[in-house]
């Protein structure tokens, strides 16, 4: 969708729910620029839907993997055992455009364990050689290094020959997504377009303190994940 298409659809979504006595409608054009606010919210809304959408709505085009150069520079295996009895932990510095993990495992693993934070008891267990994860009961931990880079620690490899299997969703590219480039395309998985429009509308109405913001967010969530909406109802 182009920037202008998004603006038009967001305006329509707002108009559907807007009351005639709205403070927004009664303000002069000199006091606000609805288009500028809508465009400003595109990045926030797109990040939200990409982070929270069910995997089957992302589409294969949303998946990224590492180049061979990135693989060499970002991934390593660290011996956390002894020289005579090595045990290898996979260590991945998450790429700078990382947003969301789709799959992260070592080649000997038969499953992808969801990452746990480094504040969990599971992470402390990785310091115990008898309790830590292994190739047949693996553990992924998200943590940070001293330079504030996000790290995925992977416990543990079957042997030194294990390789990395990694797919992720990247941060959206918002280059030229502004009012001066109305024909700039914004890459959005087709099944997430409606959710994105209502998410932007909700953020825009929040900025203007309009009561319909909550309704717009609810519609966005229903488009994003109807099953979750039904479960929470």
Average pLDDT over every residue of 6-33 = 74
* C-alpha to C-alpha distance for 147 and 213, rounded to whole angstroms: 39
* pLDDT of res. 30: 37
Best CA proximity match to 200, nearest among 176, 174, 170:
174
What are the extents of the domains in the chain?
3-59+189-227, 63-170
* C-alpha to C-alpha distance for 53 and 33, rounded to whole angstroms: 30
Tell me: pLDDT of 149 over 50. Answer: yes
Tell me: pLDDT of 226 over 90. Answer: no
Tell me: pLDDT of 31 over 50. Answer: no
- Which pTM was predicted? 0.86
Share of the chain above pLDDT 90, in %: 85
The per-residue pLDDT for range 155-191, each reduced to its tens digit, is: 999 999 999 999 999 999 999 999 999 999 999 999 9
Backbone angles phi, psi at 105, to 5 degrees: -155, 165
Best CA proximity match to 118, nearest among 142, 82, 152, 88:
142
The per-residue pLDDT for range 52-110, each reduced to its tens digit, is: 999 999 988 889 999 999 999 999 999 999 999 999 999 999 999 999 999 999 999 99
Own/partner long-range contacts of 173-176 (Cβ < 8 Å, ≥24 apart): 174/42, 174/43, 174/46
* pLDDT of res. 22: 62
Average pLDDT over every residue of 129-154 = 96
């Amino acid at each position: 969708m182009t920037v202008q298409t998004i603006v038009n659809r967001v305006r329509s979504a707002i108009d559907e729910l807007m009351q005639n006595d709205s403070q927004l409608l009664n303000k002069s054009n000199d006091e606000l620029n609805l288009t500028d606010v809508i465009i400003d919210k595109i990045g926030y809304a797109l990040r939200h839907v990409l982070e929270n959408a069910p995997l089957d709505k992302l589409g294969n085009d949303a998946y990224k993997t590492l180049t061979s150069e990135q693989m060499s520079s970002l991934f390593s295996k660290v011996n956390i055992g002894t020289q005579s009895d090595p045990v290898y932990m996979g260590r991945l510095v998450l790429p700078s455009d990382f947003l969301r993990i789709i799959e992260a495992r070592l080649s000997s693993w038969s499953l992808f364990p969801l990452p746990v934070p480094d504040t969990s008891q599971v992470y402390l267990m990785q310091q115990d050689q008898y309790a830590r994860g292994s190739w047949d009961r693996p553990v992924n931990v998200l943590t940070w290094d001293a330079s504030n880079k996000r790290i995925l620690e992977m416990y543990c490899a079957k042997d030194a020959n294990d390789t990395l299997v990694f797919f992720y969703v990247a941060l959206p590219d918002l280059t030229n997504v502004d009012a001066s480039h109305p024909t700039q395309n914004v890459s959005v998985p087709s099944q997430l377009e409606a959710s994105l429009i209502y998410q932007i509308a909700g953020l825009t109405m929040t900025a203007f303190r309009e009561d319909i913001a909550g309704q717009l967010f609810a519609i966005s969530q229903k488009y994003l994940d109807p099953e979750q909406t039904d479960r929470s109802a």
